[in-house]
Amino acid sequence: MANSNSNPEPSPSDLLEWYDRHARVLPWRVSPQNRALGEVPDPYRVWLSEIMLQQTTVATVKSYFEKFTSLWPSINDLARADREDVLKAWAGLGYYSRARNLKACADIVVEQYGGKFPETVAGLKELPGIGDYTASAIATIAFDQPAAVVDGNVERVLSRIFTVEEAMPKAKKTIKEYQSRLTPLNRAGDYAQAMMDLGATICTPKNPACSLCIWWGDCAAFKLGTQENFPVKAPKKVKPTRYGWAFVAVRADGAVLLRTRPDKGLLGGMTEVPGTSWGEEKPKSPFASAPFQAGWSKRCGVIHHTFTHFHLEVEVVTSMFPMEQAPAKNCWWSAMEDVPDEALPTLMNKMLEAALPGVTKPKL
């Protein structure tokens, strides 16, 4: 593929030299110094981090990664874990299909592959929850396979260097071709991580530190002063709003009524507050979906939450029930001290906090 500008090609070896000095210290990463001493990445830790980092920031993932690896230090430990415990540990990290696929993938790797991950992109893509990007990242970082790894940081760096005029996501194909051409056969894993670090710390979305960039002389956007124009983004689509009601039932001893969402669909398999379905019109008869036909006289406000494809507004109501009140169908009473350890997504925590401030906080 011909270079779209007259700049010289950026040098992967220059980037690797920069990485050797400035690599970020991350709990799942083997430093370039330790790699030079013969330490190799643990495919389990690479896989776990890449799954967690999908749609989530490094800052958020660090604590979850450390919690998971303390609970389940190896793929065999995770395969032996109860799925409900995995979902509980994942609660708050979002995109919950990742947690279900994480457990399913661990089971398959242990049962069918003897606890060892496939080393190729094609082999990795056969596993649950591993798509093209994640397979490339694992193959490259864990096994040093020279696959083209392109995340948001890499897209930003290369779209600026080569002034890629196509709008995202159409530009992804062109950017991947550039990355494939630049990825070296030697130290491919370090190169991929170096590109991520360059985008995360130097070639940032706003106010990039171009004077510190090892590739500034090769960057067409820098020469034009148009760095922040790249990558070119397509106009955002307007997100629709959906509406629903949530019913926070509280027993006399403070226990809260909860249930499990179906495996398929949004927040699948996670714990929830009973409520109506979510639709583009406000429910006309919301109390028909209540777990008990009680007063539900106390309104606790409206919760606003945004998912990838829509905004959500949920009216929260609550009511108290006597100790002898049996749980509604497919529900259970969760003792107040147990609520923080339930597999509750952030949205459900918001609902509970609206009705019972402090109930989702761990008791010290």
d(CA 284, CA 302): 16
CB 317 within 8 A of CB 247: yes
Alpha carbon distances (Å) from 64 to 343, 345, 364: 14, 14, 20
**DSSP letter string, 100-160:** HHHHHHHHHHHHHHTT---SSHHHHTTSTT--HHHHHHHHHHHH--------HHHHHHHHH
Active centre residues (catalytic) = 50
Alpha carbon distances (Å) from 220 to 60, 171, 236, 272, 297: 33, 17, 26, 50, 63
Largest CA distance in the chain: 78
d(CA 340, CA 360): 5
For residue 312, the surrounding DSSP H or E stretch is strand 311-321
